[in-house]
Chain A
Amino acid sequence: MDMKLSQLAVGEKGIVKEFTDLEMSVKLMEMGCLPGEEIRVDRIAPMGDPIAINVSGYQLSLRKREASTIILQ
């Protein structure tokens, strides 16, 4: 069963498989979230949203809704 990035808990990792939203995917890929890249969830904001992830060596924050467009392998 495919997982979405938004379903990962803090500390869990996953590899990007594909995106469900074209517009969002363009922006995410520019920031280095490409298919094949490993992503680790570093932190979740105090109110449960947004989340902070580690991708290609740096930290990126994005909202849960945006994270749910990333499908993991």
Chain B
Amino acid sequence: MKADIRVALVGNPNTGKSTLFNVLTGLNQKIGNFPGVTVDKKIGYCQLPDGRRAEIIDLPGTYSLYPKSQDESIVFSVLADESNSSRPDLVVVILDASNLKRNLLLYTQVADLKIPVIIALNMMDLANKAGTEIDVDLIAKKLGVAVIPIAARKLVGIDSLKLAIAYANKVAFQEPSIDVEAIAPELIESISRELQIDNPYFALQLAHQHETIKFLSPQQSDRIEELEKEHSFHSQKAQGTETIARYAFINELLYDTVKQPATAQDETHSNKIDKVLTHKIFGFILFFAILLFMFQAISSWSAYPMELISDAFVWVQDTLHHVLPNGPLTSLLVDGVIAGLSGVMVFIPQIAILFAFISILEDTGYMARVTFMMDKLMRKVGLNGKSVVPLIGGFACAVPSIMSTRTIENWKDRIITIMVTPLVTCSARLPVYTLLIALVVPNRNVWWLFNLQGLALTAMYVFSLISAVVVAWVFKIILKGRERGYFIMELPVYRMPRWNNVLYSMYERAKTFVFQAGKVIIAVSVILWVLASYGPGKRYEQIDQNYKRPQYTKPLSPQDINLAISSEKLENSYAGVLGHVIEPAIRPLGFDWKIGIALITSFAAREVFVGTMATIYSANGSTEEMQSVQEKMHNAKNTQTGQPVFTLAVAFSLMMFYAFAMQCASTVAVVYRETKDWRWPAIQFAYMAVLAYAASFITYHLLR
């Protein structure tokens, strides 16, 4: 879409930036990528009062232009790099009127970059309510910019803001805040001269950030490094000097423009809530109660829509099979691509519900408190308070959870969180566990209260958490931290969740998931389809012919013949051959070649196991027929010994394998996307494979 003017939203976290973005753009938004980085770029469009269209970019929330996380580093690059394709014509800095002092720091930095800027003074309603008097006109006059008081949640002042955007200057007219040159006079002068920069603050920022900035050439970066040595520039000291100078400027500005109420503040609303929510005992009880409710909701609320989606796909597949001519192309489309797609789509409800919960917990400010409560515990095992969110999300699905690790600033903490999140029992393992437990664990109660099968399932969940914690601890010892971990974090005041934002977040995450994971899953399912539908040599081709002979057509119904054909085809397909090839390797775990096929196909996604088992034991693949899969598996006998294939030892060994192995192409893809380095998904795949093999081996030999 074409736009007449590009506007960037910049502001601290928790200032209502996303609310304003949603209000300005409505559903008219999309997520893209900034070139070269993984940070999501949120873009929307807004009709201005003068008829022009504005493209609005929502930049990640940050407290200053000195970045502390990947997401934050994009802000300076977008604002300062003239060749950046996202560089805005105008910056709207959103300030929280109830917390002006700290918010103004970022404004003064942006203003000094000499980009046209206007201020949206948000949460005016809260400031008024607290009795704070703000002389908006005087602030505007002193800073030399338009200041628009708004209350984004209540849609107050939005029209004025649009008007201000429409009539904003094309040139930066704002007053300078501090004397930037005084911080490092000679260095700024040299950099400005050599790189032909006319803005002293841009030159100073280059001095600070040249090592991480993408738009500088290596020669330029090296030259800046030389200049820094020459002028003995100390980045952190200079930053400190700058911050103190900026706050001095801000204090002076606020001195005669803002009046705080003289009366001593009552204990705030938030503080009272915190007394309960972060209480030594109630705090934890409440936290676990919320978790329990979340899992219940994710599994029960999603059941119906998931069934609808999978039924819809079955219907489409059936219809296409009837409409299209029989042949390999139809089969590829229907059994390969569409079957693969349905594997992705059924997870949409779970992901949407999970993200609804996460965005409610984040929006209200509760997640920050969970982080606060859990930090010490998590730190002991090399994680971070902020790792709690992805680990919890891992119970639903590792893919969106790994995406949510971006809030962890510390590199080492983030990598460890990414590495262990897939160990947590995700919803895709649930059908596998359910099937296997039903097969070998008797359905009866012990101690009157507990169902044995339920206990076995709970044990698998608890076991997954323990293994995640132990593995995290091992990574903590092995990995060397590049940055120092720290935990300086704002605890935002409690607020009601914004239901619009919750809906947007559900919609966006589901969309991102479908597009990102969808590509990989479709590719893998096509490969699997080829492996399972073709076989080497003549034998495979003759199967159809064989079953046309009278000795089969007479005693068997056409249905049974079809089942027999597909089962024999599978055994002779490339996948079947592969199963036989890996059989020696998995025999010590108690698995035969049929389970081997399921293991191979499960590498696309774990839940494929049930479908594969269904095909191999020639039952129908849909979940309604699970009972019959279970019966067939129950009756399966080892051809040599005549013993049942699925003994307690085999079933638990299989569950251990599924507990540890990285059988999820989407997770591999998302880990690569988030780390931008193939080594991390490779290491993860390898360590999980080793653990899976070892755990299965031990389990099988202990229980045999």
**Chain A interface (Cβ < 8 Å from any Cβ of B):** 22-32, 34-35, 42-43, 45-50, 52, 56-63, 66
Contact = CB atoms under 8 A, between A and B. Distances in A.
Contact of B376 (A23, A25, A34, A50): A50
Interface residues of B, number: 40
Interface stretch (B278-286, B588-596, B692-700): B278-286
A32 B488 CA distance: 11
Contact of A46 (B280, B385, B484): B280
Given A24-B486, A46-B278, A58-B99, A34 B372 contact: no
A57 B376 contact: no
Interface in B65-110: 66, 68, 98-99, 101-102, 105
Contact of B243 (A24, A30, A42, A58): A30
B486 to A, nearest CB: 6
B263 interface: no
A49 B488 contact: no
Most-contacted residue by chain B among A28, A42, A57 (CB, 10 A): A57
B236 interface: yes
Contact of A63 (B244, B377, B486, B492): B486
Contact of B283 (A28, A35, A46, A61): A46
Describe A's contact surface by its main secondary structure.
Answer: mixed
A59 B488 CA distance: 11
Contacts of B280: 46
B373 A46 contact: yes
Given A30-B63, A34-B247, A49 B491 contact: no
Given A46-B283, A50-B376, A60-B491, 16 more contacts: A26-B66, A27-B486, A30-B105, A31-B63, A31-B102, A32-B105, A35-B244, A45-B375, A46-B278, A47-B377, A57-B102, A58-B102, A58-B493, A60-B488, A63-B486, A66-B488
Contacts of A31: 63, 102, 488, 490
A26 B102 contact: no
Contacts of A26: 66, 236, 239-240, 243
A47 B376 contact: yes
B449 interface: no
Q: Which 10 A-B pairs have the closest CB atoms?
A: A59-B491, A47-B376, A32-B102, A46-B280, A29-B243, A49-B376, A63-B487, A26-B239, A30-B64, A62-B488
B638 interface: no
B265 to A, nearest CB: 9
Nearest to B102: A32
Interface in B364-382: 368, 372-373, 375-377
A65 to B, nearest CB: 9
Contact of B102 (A35, A48, A49, A56): A56
